[in-house]
């Protein structure tokens, strides 16, 4: 096992903050994962699993071993008249996997095109975009349970998937995901209702889109709205869209009739966090090297040398101002370390 010491995490997370980890190693098999876990136990060091670093904010150096997940491979395990079953290594690049499936005309994840990160991290916050969540296509998740020291397979219903949440996010660091089993459709049911998808397809003159058209439309929308982390450090949406009760919604609605919110059950509403932030005047605001992105106020950006602590402090200012104006508490989506 090759262990590097005092490694910079700047290029290992999309926020690009210049923190370090005491120890670093790459994982390319279940065997190397066990070796790394045993190394930590022997030396009494904490560990952190890192995928592509697109949903983390390092605010200090990590005083243990960072394990960079690199188990790859896309394997077809079964096929029926209507479905395809695939097992995918946790270290596979998510968008590469989406493109592979789109090329094969296997439907289900095309709306999740261009989300950065690894396949292994996709169940952690149940990634979602354009009306689709990854939980809809996950059959099961294979992981090493560090509490019981067992290899386990959690079926979809065991994963406690919710909006940007799962059993893996609730039990931080307990489960190390090594592969994910997906079920995709041979006859894709295209979901084109959400966001600007219809407009883009219309502009391109596409009346009967196929999987590739839909994926390309989403790539176009995302590229025009979201900052490219290789140019401007960011981790996508910094905050979750908060859920509020129907009675709070009704109270707020009388004050702010233009509020962007929609019902998610008989008693609960989800409000667009971006709208709340924008109403507090944060959109496009920059303080030193940190900013609230000019085209999408849910995204915080690092203009260069911002530290994780500065980004965290900026996010706290936003949380406090939204709380003051709307009495709604924003929760961070990004994993603060």
> Which of 164, 179, 297, 315 is flagged as catalytic?
164
- Pick 234 or 241: Cβ nearer ligand FAD: 234
- Pick 107 or 233: Cβ nearer ligand FAD: 233
Q: State the minimum distance, in angstroms, from the CB of residue 32 to ligand FAD.
A: 13
Reading the block at residue 244, the tokens are: 């509020």
Asked if 137 contacts 126 with a C-beta cutoff of 8 angstroms, the reply is no
Q: Single out the residue of 170, 177, 207 nearest to residue 192, CA to CA.
A: 207
> Which of 122, 140, 215, 237 is flagged as catalytic?
237
C-alpha span between 18 and 5 (Å, rounded)? 15
Region near ligand FAD per CB under 6 A, out of 16-24, 231-239, 262-270, 309-317: 231-239
- Binding to ligand FAD by CB under 6 A, coded x per residue (else -) over 255-294, reads ----------------------------------------
197 touches ligand FAD by CB under 6 A: no
- Pick 51 or 108: Cβ nearer ligand FAD: 51
Q: State the minimum distance, in angstroms, from the CB of residue 247 to ligand FAD.
A: 29
- Pick 177 or 200: Cβ nearer ligand FAD: 177
Known catalytic residue at 110: no
Q: State the minimum distance, in angstroms, from the CB of residue 97 to ligand FAD.
A: 12
Q: State the minimum distance, in angstroms, from the CB of residue 106 to ligand FAD.
A: 20
- Pick 156 or 321: Cβ nearer ligand FAD: 156
234 touches ligand FAD by CB under 6 A: yes
The alpha carbon dihedral of 18, 24, 30, 36 has a sign of negative
Residue that has been written with the tokens 């609230």 in this structure: 292
Q: Write the DSSP symbol of residue 159.
A: S
Q: Single out the residue of 288, 293, 279, 292 nearest to residue 321, CA to CA.
A: 279
Please, which residues have CB within 8 angstroms of residue 242's CB and are 6 or more apart in sequence?
270, 271, 273, 276, 328, 329, 330, 331
Reading the block at residue 307, the tokens are: 């530290």
Please, which residues have CB within 8 angstroms of residue 148's CB and are 6 or more apart in sequence?
none
Q: Is 114 helix (H, G, I), strand (E, B) or coil?
A: coil
Among 17, 69, 88, 306, binds ligand FAD (CB under 6 A): 69
Strands 20-27 and 62-69 turn out to be parallel
- Pick 11 or 246: Cβ nearer ligand FAD: 11
Asked if 36 contacts 65 with a C-beta cutoff of 8 angstroms, the reply is yes
Distances (CA, A) of 264 to 241, 245, 267, 269, 272: 12, 10, 8, 5, 13
Among 26, 55, 140, 302, binds ligand FAD (CB under 6 A): 55
Reading the block at residue 153, the tokens are: 């397979």
- Pick 51 or 209: Cβ nearer ligand FAD: 51
Q: State the minimum distance, in angstroms, from the CB of residue 176 to ligand FAD.
A: 5
Known catalytic residue at 237: yes
70 touches ligand FAD by CB under 6 A: no
Helix (H) or strand (E) holding 36: helix 30-43
Known catalytic residue at 333: yes
Among 37, 86, 88, 90, binds ligand FAD (CB under 6 A): 90
Q: What positions carry a catalytic annotation?
A: 164, 237, 333
Q: Which residues bind ligand FAD (CB under 6 A)?
A: 14, 48-56, 69, 90, 115-118, 120-122, 124-125, 127-129, 175-177, 226, 229, 234-236, 335
């Amino acid at each position: 096992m090759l262990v590097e010491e005092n490694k910079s995490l700047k290029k290992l997370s999309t926020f690009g903050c210049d923190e370090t980890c005491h120890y670093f190693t790459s994982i390319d098999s279940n065997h190397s994962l066990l070796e790394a876990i045993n190394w930590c136990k022997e030396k009494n060091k904490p560990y952190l699993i890192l995928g592509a670093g697109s949903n983390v904010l390092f605010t200090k150096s990590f005083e243990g071993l960072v394990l960079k997940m690199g188990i790859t491979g896309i394997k077809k395990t079964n096929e029926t008249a209507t479905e395809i079953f695939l097992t995918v290594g946790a270290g596979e690049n998510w968008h590469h996997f989406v493109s592979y499936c789109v090329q094969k005309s296997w439907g289900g994840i095309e709306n999740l095109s261009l989300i950065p990160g690894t396949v292994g991290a996709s169940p952690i916050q149940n990634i979602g975009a354009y009306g689709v969540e990854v939980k809809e296509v996950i059959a099961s998740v294979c992981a090493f349970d560090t509490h019981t020291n067992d290899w386990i397979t959690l079926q979809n219903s065991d994963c406690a998937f919710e909006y940007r949440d799962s059993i893996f996010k609730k039990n931080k660091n307990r489960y190390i995901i090594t592969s994910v089993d997906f079920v995709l459709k041979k006859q894709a049911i295209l979901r084109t209702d959400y966001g600007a998808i219809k407009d883009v397809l219309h502009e391109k003159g596409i009346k009967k889109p196929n999987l590739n058209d839909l994926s390309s439309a989403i790539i176009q929308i995302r590229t025009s709205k979201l900052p490219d982390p290789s140019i401007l450090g960011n981790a996508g949406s910094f905050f979750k869209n908060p859920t509020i009760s129907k009675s709070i919604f009704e109270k707020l609605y009388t004050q702010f009739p233009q509020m962007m919110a929609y019902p998610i059950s008989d008693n609960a509403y989800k409000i667009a966090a971006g709208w709340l932030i924008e109403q507090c005047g944060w959109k496009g605001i920059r303080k030193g090297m940190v900013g609230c992105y000019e085209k999408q106020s849910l995204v915080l950006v690092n203009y260069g040398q911002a530290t994780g602590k500065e980004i965290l402090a900026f996010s706290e200012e936003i949380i406090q101002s939204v709380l003051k104006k709307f009495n709604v508490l924003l929760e961070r989506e990004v994993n603060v370390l």
